[in-house]
Amino acid sequence: MKRWRGLAVGAVMLLVFAAPPAETAAQPDAAGTTEQQADAKAQRSADRAAAKAEKKAARAAKKAEAKREKKARYKTLFTDNGFTYYLDSKNSRWVPRPNSGSERMIEAWVRLVENTEGNTAEGGTDARPSKYFLEHYYISPQRREIMFISELEVTGRPENAIKERPYENANWEKLVPGSIEDDLFDAIVAKMKQAPGERSGVLSGTSGMSLRDMLEEFGRISL
């Protein structure tokens, strides 16, 4: 009996000394959790840094594009139905409207480039595409009218021979809301801003008027 009791006590003591303390067993798990938290924090920091760098690069690209656009001869108007429309700022200008006193209109040259791979040459908007269309318009901002003069399909370099419609009052067209002409009108007027010598703000529409004319027009004061 004593022999079995001694064997039982010995087995219990062996188990007690063989088992690691609870704190010692938990240490590897705690260390693993801490390492995972550190990795997750580092990943979040890396993601934030990458997002910040991406936003900074996007702002820089947008700024560079705006700078190129400002210096470019061909100003981007808009993109529609597979074509990008550009205003030729070198050859577009304000001119007097015939038989209309001091009223001025815009003579606009517009380049249409089809958005297909390989159709745009290297060098930005001022580079000559392999193929494009060139359109000529008169635009009357004061009356919101547009006159189509000509269209030329160009492959390579345009020839200096083009057949155009003559200027006639009957060729002026009123704008249809939502039409290409309506979009062209708004975009071109925005690029050309106001005519040289035109007054803006509360004096808009008074260009060419004397002080007496303005008083009679707006103050209904007859002098």
Domain count across the chain: 1
Q: Which of 79-83, 138-142, 149-153, 205-209 has the lowest mean pLDDT?
A: 205-209
Side chain identity at residue 111, one-letter code: R
- Decide: 122 and 136 in contact? Cβ < 8 Å: no
Q: Is 97 inside a domain boundary?
A: yes
Mapped onto helix, strand or coil, the DSSP state of residue 62 is helix
pLDDT for the residue 42: 86
Please tell me the distance from the alpha carbon of residue 223 to that of residue 219, in angstroms, as a whole number.
11
Q: Is 46 inside a domain boundary?
A: no
Q: Is 2 inside a domain boundary?
A: no
Q: What is the mean pLDDT of residues 177-186?
A: 96
pLDDT in tens, 112-161: 999 876 555 444 566 778 899 999 999 999 999 999 999 999 998 888 88
Please tell me the distance from the alpha carbon of residue 60 to that of residue 66, in angstroms, as a whole number.
10
Mapped onto helix, strand or coil, the DSSP state of residue 109 is strand
Q: 């057949």: which residue's tokens?
A: 163
pLDDT for the residue 125: 62
Q: Is 19 inside a domain boundary?
A: no
Q: What is the mean pLDDT of residues 84-93?
A: 95
CATH number of residue 170's parent domain:
2.40.128
DSSP 19: S
pLDDT for the residue 92: 96
Q: What is the mean pLDDT of residues 185-197?
A: 87
- Domain containing residue 95: 69-199+206-218
Judge whether residue 85 has pLDDT over 70: yes
pTM, rounded to two decimals:
0.60
Interstrand relation of 74-80 and 104-114 (parallel, antiparallel or unpaired) = unpaired
Q: Is 4 inside a domain boundary?
A: no
Q: Is 54 inside a domain boundary?
A: no
The residues near 9 (Cβ < 8 Å, ≥ 6 apart) are none
- Decide: 85 and 111 in contact? Cβ < 8 Å: yes
Determine the straight-line distance between the first and last CA of the chain, rounded to whole angstroms.
Answer: 139
Q: What is the mean pLDDT of residues 14-41?
A: 66
